[in-house]
Amino acid sequence: MSLQVEKLEHNMAKLTIEVGEDEVEKALQAAYNKNKNKMSIPGFRKGKVPRQMLEKMYGPAVFYEDAANILIPNAYGKEVKESELEIVSQPDIDIVQIEKGKPFIFSAQVALKPEVVLGAYKGVSVPKTDLEVTEEEIIKEKERQLNHTAGVILNRSGDFARFNKLLRFNDALAGFVENNVLIESAQIYAYSIKRIKRDVIIKVCYESGYVYEDIDINNLAQTYYELDYADYTQLKDVINMWKELSTNSVTSIREKDALIEAVLKGIESLFRKYYSELCGLSNVSEVDNKHFTKYRILTLLIRLARRYSTTTIDNKNILGDDKKEIEYFLLNGKRTGILSSILLEDTFMFKYTRNSHKKDGRAYVCFPANIANQNYIIVFSIQTFDLDEYIDLEQEIDSLKSDFVNRLL
């Protein structure tokens, strides 16, 4: 472990701390032990999936965040104590490098105790002021200090903001599920989209959920989608054209035909590419995180081409009977639905029947929402027997979306 100190202006300093590879590996293992019971892969019981397989499925960065949260407090506290710096602020942390097999490097910008040079103060006189303080004023001041201190302590770690957010989510979810006849469960996932070199990483994290009595619903905990940046831009172009056609904003027949042709060519191009790559897999051990993402995009492309309002994602395979085992491993309806809603930036509905024989099948609706400058996906479920001829489904979903958003305001 090492520390570099760079003095900045206005009594500020930048501390750069490096942690050795051995400590990084211990932290990654600890992060895996913390999360392994929340993560599952078909064929393994929860908590029994090897770390290497989880890293291969979700990407090598799957445990980085928790590992960093383990490493930073210990390394920062130890180095600051040994440096004998007089730090008077909470650190502003920035991760410089985190990667398996390499040192972990992060920086912390802090305020230092200023050096004060006293002027001539001997002989200065100050008139004495007599103050009378009532008991009521003493009580009020104690209450003010107590409230102020509590707020400072909570806000230092971000707990106060997180607690308030979680409380809002829990109340909104409970009210939404309990007061809508069709809804059996609802969940909120935070997501982010980042370009890293030639790839696009979409990270989705479970925030909160509420389930009606005796309903069996699983959450995803945390998942990553990874695809090439060039494919991502091509896919978004296809989606934007498809959405333009769906809104009926194109009135010219010639323009509409040209747009349909462009959409179909884009769909066919990506579909052939991903289909060929996935059919090239010979066994499950070759599957990585990009393969999972590509399979989910294949199902979305089929949906766009068919332009149906619902679809069934189950073990009827796309890749053919000889790839049935691989396709079963790739298959997950909820992950597909969430990714589709993120990419479409719109509502996505699907029916998921795999492993649902005791639940009579289930219909899910996903839709994106921006809450306090953070992107979220809201997922709610209804039983398939609720989708009958007496329900205007599109109107009902719009009403449910509005109801949920209003509960968060």
Tally Cβ neighbours within 10 Å of residue 330. 26
The domain 2-114: what is its CATH number? 3.30.70.1050
The candidate with the shortest Cα–Cα distance to 299, out of 322, 325, 267, 269, is: 267
CA distances from 115 to 11, 73, 111 (A): 9, 27, 12
For residue 390, the model assigns a pLDDT of 58
> Which range, of 156-170, 263-277, 386-400, averages the lowest pLDDT?
156-170
Mind listing the pLDDT tens digit for each residue in 310-351?
A: 444 444 568 888 888 888 888 777 888 899 999 999 998 887
Tell me the C-alpha distance between 68 and 64, whole Å: 6
**185-196, strands of its sheet edge to edge:** 222-228, 199-211, 185-196, 374-382, 362-371, 348-352, 312-313
pLDDT surpasses 50 at 106: yes
pLDDT at 16: 93
Q: Are strands 199-211 and 185-196 parallel, antiparallel or unpaired?
A: antiparallel
Res. 234 pLDDT band, cuts 50 70 90: very high
Question: Which residue(s) pair with 350 in the sheet?
Answer: 364
Report whether 365 contacts 349 (CB < 8 A): yes
Which is more confident, 160 or 85? 85
Query: What tens digit of pLDDT does each residue of 56-101 get?
Result: 888 888 889 889 988 998 898 888 888 888 888 888 888 899 888 8
CA distances (Å), origin 352, targets 80, 110, 364: 53, 51, 8
| Minimum mean pLDDT range among 9-23, 39-53, 154-168, 196-210 | 154-168
Which pLDDT does position 349 carry in this prediction?
86
pLDDT greater at residue 297 or residue 215: 297
pLDDT at residue 356, rounded to an integer = 43
Sole residue written with tokens 């619902």: 310
Find the mean pLDDT for residues 6-33: 90
Say if residue 144's pLDDT is above 90.
Answer: no
More confident residue, 215 or 112: 112
What tens digit of pLDDT does each residue of 346-385 get?
998 887 554 444 455 678 899 998 887 889 999 998 876 6
pLDDT of residue 269: 92
Question: Residue 195: what pLDDT?
Answer: 93
Which pLDDT does position 164 carry in this prediction?
66
Q: What is the pLDDT of residue 313?
A: 41
| pLDDT score for 192 | 94
Range among 229-233, 298-302, 348-352 with highest mean pLDDT value: 229-233
Determine the pLDDT at residue 155.
44
Start-to-end C-alpha separation, the chain: 47
Instruction: Inform me whether the pLDDT recorded for 305 exceeds 50.
Output: yes
**Residue 102 and residue 67 in contact, taking contact as beta carbons nearer than 8 Å:** no
Chain-wide mean pLDDT for the chain? 81
All CATH 3.30.70.1050 domain ranges in the chain, comma separated: 2-114
